[in-house]
A and B are shown apart, each in its own frame.
Chain A
């Protein structure tokens, strides 16, 4: 009894410290966002000096087309990414499509490559007059054609969807792997075709994971900045993040309107979360039973060629063509090049690798911050996940702490970066201008992703193992080191690697927090796009992709040796 009380007391102190941590590093920036939105005084003042709804009133008076544009953009991206991601997950998990193992790896690659690289690549590939794809079609047609145009609304939706597809793929694939395969086998035995089985059996059972992936993709697309910003510059189609960027970077920045836009997006995201939760509560989707087992792959039969076009077509559009485009562009002497007039040179790489100091600094800083974000982010997320799990098991709630940990996900990182800048400036110790500021920003922005990853792992661990250790006299530190960490090790490393990859490409959160002594790859590439020219920025993009791939390979090798990741 005394032992249990002592454990509860220790848990109480730990829980209080965790609450303090979350309230200060997550709650405070969100509170600052609300404070800015309700600044009734000078709109350029940070912190605000007067409360009022003037900013929100001015927001209502402005051109609100960004709301419609953002909803159209995010919805379209979500639909395409879900169709592609779910279809690809089904193909590699449930069918006998040739090269399943390779395909499952290739499909994920656009995620670590990042949206900025995709935007640069598709500016090379899909420009209406000079784009490589139109050039090839033009050579085949014997005249100039403009059949492909990524500098258009459908174009930016298409490119963003290619970037978002891997997340949908991973989320749906995880659920497919857990599903009882006998249900689909029964359908096949009863004579249903693969497509029929997929639509009538697999799809309905996958609804929770598909809706979850759709929600995640929709919110991600609402926050998208790089692709609309690079490819949508000449369009009458401003999404929320671009509008915010314009408002923040004008000579008389209107922070209340920018923060108000952030609050509108928070509201939209919150309503969607509630709707999805309500839909999922209406019926049971239990698919993991005690007698369930993995399914044998469905035989595609005559559908195999179509499935291969679908699967490898995505890889072609999302991986092969973009990498080929930036590679060719990076070796060109002039920005004014086309496929009939190539002029090869190493000068761009010489400049980017040896003369441009930001490359070296950004690479070192990005890897440092990436590793630190992985370690710290996963540590905090695991503490939160364990605490929420414990509260749920003891029926003490946990929903509030979980909501707070997930809150940064529904605020676009570009908007959050302004409040983070203010937050970091008012800290009682000097963090601004250092890499620590970027790290703190990344830890906050990626906390929802880390929590999502660790919550799933923690929920699968039987708490009785830790209780037994405590009962046998082990202290919290020893229990954590000997029981909890080994049980969570695979999930810890996988989530840390995910955070590492995300932090290497992040633009929005870093754009206000990085400085000359703390440059990281995302903003460096974004800024270089405006002043370096297409050939040079392609060389930097190729360099970034290589770094990401090498880093991932090294991390997987190291972690795999010990942890079988």
Chain B
């Protein structure tokens, strides 16, 4: 039974809106709504054209959604503002939550986000929906094809997220530290392992890249180890630091970089078969009300200068050639397991399969 048929949907929607409006008018909502953005871009721009810096400054504060560590993103935006004079605000939002919110916004035609920092599979999905702006930054030609969308211009990787097994060597001696994924099944690590949650893009990538490499009963046996999930590298690291847990089965390697810079013990181990690695990518929204500012942000973040600033501060490997992180081994010495075909990678069926399985593994179901 259709609840809102297209034939009469307009009138019902109108009726609903009128009813709602009548009540909210009593709260003085029209005045408050003036605080929000209007629905149209503040300046016009050709989608693929180079940004106009003066127009960008007039467009208002750029809105950036991300799932990075918040202090890192705050510093990045401050540096961008210092370089360009363009104000920018950030909102940390988990990928799945962001996608949910964004889909609701797009359906209602009231999206507020200009730049969406997420993962290629999420961006691929939005690209298929026609929600992304196609724009080639001046430096995008320097990135290898596997680090950007096909066709080019919808998304580009702004860092390479290597996610090995991580532990504190003072708590877990090198001799007993896990060297392979099967080592995580050692009874000594029962109730001692942390992982990303079922809603995590990193967690999904870990499962996706290893599911055919590991024995068929691996995840059932992993479940018996009673690993638990935490929503971020910071939260997982807190569990290791306070001694509640011993091993992170999969943690972003920037945590190791940051720990080394703070002279805190933290290290990682790499299974010879490879380390699941995902990309964190930047995409511009077609619905952006600040298209010039959004393009300038992409230009900055994907430039050599922007990449050096980000990777020096955040501590991950860069997709920009020639940028290294001194605290980490050369990326060429690591065997990375990275997805390349995003048409099937982020399909709803695979996501569902992972979420159901992973919820059981980490005790959420």
Contact = CB atoms under 8 A, between A and B. Distances in A.
B96 A250 contact: yes
A533 interface: yes
A512 B101 contact: yes
A28 B262 CA distance: 52
A532 B99 CA distance: 23
Contacts of B175: none
Contacts of B16: 28, 426
Interface in A421-473: 421-423, 425-437, 439-440, 443
B305 interface: no
A515 B91 contact: yes
B112 A515 contact: yes
A23 interface: yes
Contact of B232 (A51, A357, A531): A531
A319 interface: no
Contacts of B4: 47-49
Given A20-B22, A426-B16, A432 B36 contact: yes
A251 B358 CA distance: 13
A131 B108 CA distance: 47
Contacts of A82: none
Interface string B346-363: 101001100100010001
B112 A432 contact: yes
A238 B204 CA distance: 22
A151 B244 CA distance: 9
B71 A421 contact: no
A531 B100 contact: no
B238 interface: yes
A23 B23 contact: yes
Interface string B326-365: 0000000000000000000010100110010001000111
A24 B264 contact: no
A380 B25 CA distance: 13
Nearest to B348: A252
A536 B71 contact: yes
B104 interface: yes
A534 B365 contact: no
A384 B95 CA distance: 41
A427 B244 contact: no
Given A357-B74, A431-B32, A433-B112, A250 B355 contact: yes
Contacts of B348: 251-252
A46 B106 CA distance: 12
Contact of A48 (B3, B22, B30, B237): B3
- Mostly, the A contact residues are loop
Given A127-B244, A236-B363, A432-B36, A46 B27 contact: no
Contacts of B245: 234
B241 A336 contact: yes
B17 interface: yes
Contact of A238 (B23, B242, B364): B364
A531 B104 contact: no
A130 B242 contact: yes
Interface size class of A (residues with CB under 8 A): 35 or more
Contacts of B65: 516
Contacts of B39: 430
B32 A434 contact: yes
A430 B111 CA distance: 11
A40 B239 CA distance: 41
- Most chain B CB within 10 A, of A238, A376, A531, is at A531
A250 B32 contact: no
Interface in B1-54: 1-4, 13, 16-24, 26-30, 32-39
A430 B38 contact: yes
A248 B199 CA distance: 10
Interface in B177-226: 194, 197-199, 204
A22 interface: yes
B96 A22 contact: no
A233 interface: yes
B229 interface: yes
A234 B244 contact: yes
Given A28-B16, A250-B199, A530-B231, 9 more contacts: A21-B22, A21-B27, A251-B352, A357-B89, A430-B38, A434-B35, A439-B27, A516-B91, A516-B112
Interface of B: 1-4, 13, 16-24, 26-30, 32-39, 61, 63-65, 68-71, 74-75, 78, 89-92, 94-97, 99-101, 103-105, 107-108, 110, 112, 194, 197-199, 204, 228-232, 234-235, 237-239, 241-245, 262, 264, 346, 348, 351-352, 355, 359, 363-365
Interface of A: 17, 20-25, 28, 35, 40, 44, 46-52, 62-63, 127-131, 151, 233-236, 238, 246, 248-253, 334-336, 351, 355-358, 361, 376, 380, 421-423, 425-437, 439-440, 443, 512, 515-519, 527-534, 536
23 contacts: A25-B23, A25-B27, A46-B104, A46-B107, A47-B4, A49-B4, A50-B1, A131-B242, A249-B100, A251-B95, A335-B241, A336-B241, A356-B70, A358-B70, A358-B74, A427-B21, A428-B18, A434-B34, A436-B33, A439-B32, A527-B70, A529-B235, A533-B238
